[in-house]
Amino acid sequence: MKLYLCLISFILHLLVNSVDGGTFTVDIPNQQFLKDGKPFRYISGEIHYFRIHPDQWEDRLSRVRASGLNAIQVYVAWNEHEPFEGQ
């Protein structure tokens, strides 16, 4: 249950800090993303949240942003959430 609450907090943190009211569209003919009408390129990294203590999440996300990344891929280790099948 504690891990579940940590995961929810992490996701909410990402959502709150990423909402800016701009527009985002996919320009299929030109094969590009547009953010506020301008070409946008994803620069992504991956975080295994279950390997980082929750007290360090904010620091790690700040470092990710400072390094120039603008997207995060999060792997869900299902065995952390369901150690035994059906539980």
State how far the Cα of 24 lies from the Cα of 26, in Å rounded to an integer. 7
Which residue type does 45 have? G
Q: What are the tens digits of pLDDT across the range 16-56?
A: 555 566 788 889 899 998 988 999 898 999 988 888 999 99
Look at the pTM and tell me if it is higher than 0.85.
Answer: no
* 30 or 75, which is more confident: 30
